[in-house]
């Protein structure tokens, strides 16, 4: 039996390779950033060749760093930034364009047109679980195909997991998993097939699309410097973090505090649909079962801390926000970071950011604290909606992501939710989900072994009185109301 499982964690800003041992411990990590390409305002691209090369390079580095041989690796698991899409020529192996990244809004007008067709947008919601938005892959694929004037029957399409596997397997694997497919807006989450009506509407031929497999599955072998490694999982990053956090059961949820916040709740084999803007998505396919999740996202979370650093320049690094917030004695200042509008449950593109409750003695510590509080309040907005729409009362919230390292924020989060916040001591939940999935498929672990893998966590308890929480949250809601519709009459 080999000793390690290797995660390829292909994120939005960097490619990472992480080695885990049988105890689920991290042996070595290697990370490399790649170029963010912004050809126009609102357009975001990645060079697919750079994604591939950085990913290959970190794999080599992590193996060297750990001092192991390729043959010590039992299986590879891939987790990736979701929705980002590549179209390439199957003969030359070259992309026809840079990858269009999930954040890219070049197709927003087209998506607004679709939204006006109520029958079609309801069809999309009912069958893909998604709200029509440029964020998902379908309209991006149409844009890429529309600007290509060669023979379209030569083209293949894929999310980043698919692209990496195709290239690394010398063109043998053209596949993805249910979780990634469910973010394209072309996949029917009820029939578990590509949706014919949507393929026709977006001008996609089924032969261009990858085969859709379970997340935990033997996909085939890839070549790393002439060494053959078996790929045993592929899964989108947020779903992977849900599994990596140990939310194996229905009714368990996690929140990732990164650039934005992504809260996902495992809803088991049930497709729960939301009437207030939560998405329904496939969590994973594992052990011959497909399971679903409800998802709510906050657009601006850690990005608001970057705003304090880069635009207001009132702190030097994100970490400093903790100490500054603790110096503030006020809780009457509110920042609503609606910089790009507001997502669930408000769904208001015309909302814009505001700061309110200022007095003559308001200082920068108060503003930092109010910004961190906003992450917690926005999370509560989603959390309450999630409980309401799922009918599940959550006992605790598992957290991960860069900003979850902020102790002030996590304490305030626990207080405002009036729930325990559980922060895993292993911060690599995303990679962990992919290696768990891979280990299940290769026989390295079974479910019982995974449940026993140490998930040592810090438990952060609420420490504010109920009356106080009510008052604070009431004011947040009032501030949000003021931010809403700001651009409406322009
Ligand atoms: P992503 O995967 O979206 O790049 P990460 O999980 O790496 O995000 O988290 C980075 C984000 O978290 C940044 O937006 C940063 O401003 C924020 N962040 C990182 N550390 C802290 C901290 N100690 N306190 C508050 N915010 C933080």
DSSP 170: T
Residue-level pLDDT at 29: 96
CA of 233 to the centre of ligand 1 (A): 27
Two tokens at 248?
């194996």
How does pLDDT run across 311-343, given as a tens digit for each residue? 999 999 999 999 999 999 999 999 999 988 888
3-state DSSP call for residue 6? strand
How does pLDDT run across 27-84, given as a tens digit for each residue? 999 999 999 899 988 888 999 999 999 999 999 999 999 999 999 999 999 999 999 9
- Ligand 1 atom 8: residue of nearest CA: 258
Question: What's the pLDDT band for 1 if we cut at 50, 70, 90?
Answer: low
Task: Compute the distance between CA of residue 368 and CA of residue 374 in angstroms, rounded to an integer.
Answer: 10
HSE at residue 199, side-chain half, CA atoms within 13 A, is 14
CA of 403 to the centre of ligand 1 (A): 4
DSSP symbols for 173-242? --EEEHHHHTTTT-EETTTTEE-HHHHHHHT--GGGSPEEE-SEEEEEEEEETTEEEEEEEEEEHHHHHH
Residues 6+ apart with CB under 8 A from 254: 241, 242, 245, 247, 263, 264, 397, 398, 399, 400, 429
Task: Compute the distance between CA of residue 297 and CA of residue 261 in angstroms, rounded to an integer.
Answer: 6
3-state DSSP call for residue 355? strand
Residue-level pLDDT at 489: 67
Residue of 217, 248, 221 lying closest to 234 (CA atoms): 217
CATH architecture of 4-237: 2-Layer Sandwich (3.30)
DSSP 266: E
Polymer length of the chain: 490
Task: Compute the distance between CA of residue 346 and CA of residue 364 in angstroms, rounded to an integer.
Answer: 28
3-state DSSP call for residue 59? helix
Residue of 478, 365, 459 lying closest to 414 (CA atoms): 459
Distances (CA, A) of 356 to 309, 396, 483: 20, 31, 10
Contact (Cβ atoms closer than 8 angstroms) between residue 45 and residue 104: yes
CA of 446 to the centre of ligand 1 (A): 33
Task: Compute the distance between CA of residue 296 and CA of residue 346 in angstroms, rounded to an integer.
Answer: 11
- What are the sequence ranges of the domains in the chain? 4-237
How does pLDDT run across 397-445, given as a tens digit for each residue? 999 988 999 999 999 999 999 999 999 887 789 999 999 999 999 999 9
Task: Compute the distance between CA of residue 251 and CA of residue 246 in angstroms, rounded to an integer.
Answer: 12
CA of 341 to the centre of ligand 1 (A): 20
Q: Is the dihedral of CA 351, 357, 362, 367 positive or negative?
A: negative
Residue-level pLDDT at 42: 82
Query: Torsions phi, psi of 4, nearest 5?
Result: -130, 155
Report whether pLDDT(490) > 70: no
Q: What is the mean pLDDT of residues 459-471?
A: 94
What rounded mean pLDDT belongs to the chain?
A: 93
Q: Which atom of ligand 1 is nearest to the CA of 260?
A: 3
How does pLDDT run across 93-139, given as a tens digit for each residue? 999 999 999 988 889 889 889 999 999 999 999 999 999 888 899 99
Two tokens at 403?
């900003």
Q: Which atom of ligand 1 is nearest to the CA of 402?
A: 9
Q: What is the mean pLDDT of residues 391-401?
A: 90
Cβ atoms within 10 Å, residue 270: 12
Distances (CA, A) of 67 to 60, 199, 246: 11, 47, 29
Task: Compute the distance between CA of residue 366 and CA of residue 314 in angstroms, rounded to an integer.
Answer: 11
Ligand 1, pocket residues at CB < 6 Å:
11, 13, 258-259, 302-303, 305-306, 318-319, 321-322, 401-403, 405-406
Residue-level pLDDT at 453: 84
Mutation pick for ligand 1 pocket among 81, 259, 314 (CB with most ligand atoms within 8 Å):
259
Mutation pick for ligand 1 pocket among 34, 306, 318 (CB with most ligand atoms within 8 Å):
318
Q: Which atom of ligand 1 is nearest to the CA of 13?
A: 4
Which letter, b or e, does each residue of 105-123 get, where b requires 16 or more Cβ atoms within 10 Å of its Cβ?
A: bbbeebbeebeeeeebbee
Alpha helices in 314-446 (DSSP H): 320-327, 364-390, 407-417, 429-442
CA of 80 to the centre of ligand 1 (A): 18
Alpha helices in 391-484 (DSSP H): 407-417, 429-442, 447-452, 466-483
Contact (Cβ atoms closer than 8 angstroms) between residue 86 and residue 95: yes
pTM value surpassing 0.85: yes
């Amino acid at each position: 039996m080999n000793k390690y499982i290797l995660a390829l964690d292909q994120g939005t800003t960097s490619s990472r390779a992480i080695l885990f041992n049988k105890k689920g411990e991290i042996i070595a990590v290697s990370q490399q950033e790649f170029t963010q390409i912004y050809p126009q305002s609102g357009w975001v691209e990645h060079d697919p060749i750079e994604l591939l090369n950085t990913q290959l390079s970190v794999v080599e580095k992590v193996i060297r760093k750990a001092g192991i041989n390729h043959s010590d690796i039992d299986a590879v698991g891939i987790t990736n930034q979701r929705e980002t899409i590549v179209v390439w020529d199957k003969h030359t192996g070259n992309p026809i364009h840079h990858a269009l990244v999930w954040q890219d809004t070049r197709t927003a007008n087209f998506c607004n047109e679709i939204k006006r067709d109520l029958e079609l947008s309801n069809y999309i919601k009912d069958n893909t679980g998604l709200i029509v938005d440029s964020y998902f892959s379908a309209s991006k694929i149409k844009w890429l195909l529309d600007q290509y004037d060669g023979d379209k029957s030569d083209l293949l399409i894929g999310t980043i997991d698919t692209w990496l596997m195709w290239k690394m397997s010398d063109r043998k694997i053209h596949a993805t998993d249910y979780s990634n497919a469910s973010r394209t807006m072309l996949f029917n989450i009820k029939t578990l097939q590509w949706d014919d009506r949507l393929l026709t509407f977006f001008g996609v031929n089924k032969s261009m699309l990858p085969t859709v497999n379970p997340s935990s599955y033997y996909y085939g072998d890839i070549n790393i410097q002439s060494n053959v490694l078996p790929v045993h999982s592929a899964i989108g990053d947020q779903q992977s973090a849900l599994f990596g956090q140990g939310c194996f059961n229905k009714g368990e949820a996690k929140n990732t505090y990164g650039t934005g916040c992504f809260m996902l709740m495992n809803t088991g084999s049930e497709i729960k649909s939301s009437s207030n803007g939560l998405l329904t998505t496939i969590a994973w396919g594992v052990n011959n079962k497909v399971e679903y999740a409800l998802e709510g996202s906050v657009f601006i979370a850690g990005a608001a801390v970057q705003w304090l650093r880069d635009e207001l320049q009132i702190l030097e690094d994100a970490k400093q926000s903790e100490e500054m917030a603790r110096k503030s004695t006020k809780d009457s200042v509110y920042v609503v970071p609606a910089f790009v509008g507001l997502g669930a449950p408000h769904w208001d593109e015309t909302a814009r950011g505001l700061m309110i409750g200022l007095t003559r003695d308001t200082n920068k510590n108060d503003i930092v604290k109010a910004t961190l509080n906003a992450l917690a309040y926005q999370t509560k907005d989603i959390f309450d909606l999630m409980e309401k729409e799922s009918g599940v009362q959550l006992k605790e919230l598992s957290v991960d992501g860069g900003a979850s390292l902020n102790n002030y924020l996590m304490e305030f989060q626990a207080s405002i939710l009036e729930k325990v916040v559980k922060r895993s001591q292993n911060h690599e939940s995303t990679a962990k989900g992919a290696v768990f999935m891979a280990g299940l498929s290769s026989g390295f672990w079974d479910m019982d072994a995974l449940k026993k893998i140490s998930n040592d966590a810090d438990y952060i308890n609420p420490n504010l009185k109920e009356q106080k929480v009510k008052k604070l949250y009431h004011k947040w809601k009032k501030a949000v109301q003021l931010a809403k519709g700001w651009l409406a009459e322009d």
